[in-house]
Amino acid sequence: GLAEADQVKLRSVYLDGVPVENNDGSRNFQVEQFDTREGEIQQDAIEWVTAASSEVQVGHELQRRLVDGGSGGKKTHFTPCSIEVSEPDVSEVDVTVQVSNLWWDSNKGHTNATVKLQFEPSYRTLSKDELPPKTEPWEITGLKDEPPPKTESWEITGVCQVYCKTFTFPVHLAAGARFVLKISRTDVIDQGENAGKKHGTAHVLSYTKRRTGKFRYPGSALVAMQISSEKFDRVPVRSYDVKGLLVEVPDNYDPLERTYEGTWTGKFKRAWTNNPAWIFRDVLLNRRYGAGAWVNESYVDRYALYAIAKYCDERVPNSDGDPEPRFTCNCYVTSRTHAFALLQQLASIFRGIAYWCAGSVLTSADMPCDPTYIYNPSNVVGRGGQRQAVFD
């Protein structure tokens, strides 16, 4: 379904909890490019986005320590960090390394110090247990026709509290192979007159797997933004103030004012709403993310939901005495779950239940209604009473 088109603006986007744009139009961050898609099935790809990335957190310190080296001496032992990638569609891997508290104690105070890093890429074949299931025996085709990767060494020199740098490595995988990158710190520990004067730690913060290409993401609303990295030492946490999916609501309903005009004809229109009754109906009937593959629209009593929806929209006083709708639903489903369990959770928002009876999905809510009483010959005293029927 579509997301509300006109409300994904820069002031609705937050980086590490700070809005990109303030209400007065000023910006807290330098934005190079910004674009959105509303979630259409046939939507176009964003032209300037040429890759899809997924970040994996690591947080591994590249440690070093002195160990016995024989003949009474000591040598520096390094503890590397290894990264493995086995997805054949990954084309590049970005590794982010953070250097902290880097300096050299000298007679002139804190002066430049150096951290040396070594990156050793390699390719390995997957074991039989790691291969995905297949009806026919696997044939390991090896690597793509590419030259073997070379070991690279980098030096970071300076004085800093925190410094981050990202290193990019191309990946050329074929079926049955994996890319392995071993990262080590290679500067030895001083044992002479300069012992204890050099400071600095190095951590592998994360690595990002990048898949090159242009992707449309059909059926998904998305935001693409390119920003300056001057104010960030890592990829910021992104959050968005959005309304969400457009769902079917009665054609006489104004979801913003929560009013119903005239008599409803039983027809629907698409609009945004947080009325839990209409969200319940959307999940019940939608064929892509709901139970619509098994539940037909004729199975649902729309007029019972109409009465429940009007009850949800009634204004009641909140704790401050201000009026607000009786029930609202503002949520998003993050994982796959049992359809009946999800529908019951949505129905519980309006103090209701949903159940299957006589070939229909019936919905009932705990709300005031006119008193009714069922009577038949077994509970009628005497011979009084009349039978009446209405015919078209």
- Residue 141: the pLDDT is 43
* Same-domain check for residues 90 and 149: yes
Task: Give DSSP secondary structure letters for 88-106.
Answer: TT--EEEEEEEEEEEEEEE
Q: Is the pLDDT of residue 134 over 70?
A: no
* Same-domain check for residues 98 and 209: yes
Which DSSP helix (H) or strand (E) runs through 211? strand 198-212
* Same-domain check for residues 70 and 209: yes
Q: What angle do CA 187, 65, 180 make, to 5 degrees?
A: 65
Q: For residue range 137-170, list pLDDT tens digits in order.
A: 444 444 445 566 789 999 888 888 888 899 999 9
* Same-domain check for residues 181 and 74: yes
* Same-domain check for residues 267 and 355: yes
Q: For residue range 320-374, list pLDDT tens digits in order.
A: 889 999 999 998 888 889 999 999 999 999 999 998 888 888 888 998 887 777 7
CA distances 75 to 63, 64, 65, 202, 325, Å, are 14, 10, 8, 19, 71
Count the helix, strand and coil residues of the chain and give each as a percent rounded to the nearest 5: 10, 40, 45
Distance, CA of 94 to CA of 53 (rounded, Å): 10
Distance, CA of 52 to CA of 209 (rounded, Å): 8
Q: Is residue 324 part of a domain?
A: yes
* Same-domain check for residues 252 and 326: yes
What are 60's two structure tokens? 């591994």
Q: Is the pLDDT of residue 82 over 70?
A: yes
* Same-domain check for residues 275 and 306: yes
Distance, CA of 322 to CA of 179 (rounded, Å): 60
Q: Is residue 377 part of a domain?
A: no
Is residue 2 within 8 A of residue 40, CB to CB? The reply is: yes
Q: Which range among 28-42, 78-92, 112-126, 250-264 has the greatest average pLDDT?
A: 250-264
Distance, CA of 265 to CA of 251 (rounded, Å): 8
Q: Could you list the residue range(s) of the whole structural domain that residue 17 is in?
A: 1-47+221-240
> What CATH number did the domain enclosing 78 receive?
2.60.120
The SS3 call for residue 207 is: strand
Q: Quick check: pTM over 0.75?
A: no
Q: For residue range 99-109, list pLDDT tens digits in order.
A: 988 888 776 76
Helix axes 339-349, 276-285, angle to 10 degrees: 170
* Same-domain check for residues 98 and 229: no
* Same-domain check for residues 117 and 79: yes
Q: Is residue 3 part of a domain?
A: yes
* Same-domain check for residues 55 and 180: yes
What are 46's two structure tokens? 């964003």
Looking at the structure of the chain, the number of domains it has is 3
* Same-domain check for residues 40 and 109: no
**Percentage above 70 pLDDT, the chain:** 86
- Residue 254: the pLDDT is 96
Q: For residue range 231-267, list pLDDT tens digits in order.
A: 887 788 999 988 888 999 999 999 999 999 999 999 9
Mean pLDDT (the chain, rounded): 84
Q: Is residue 380 part of a domain?
A: no
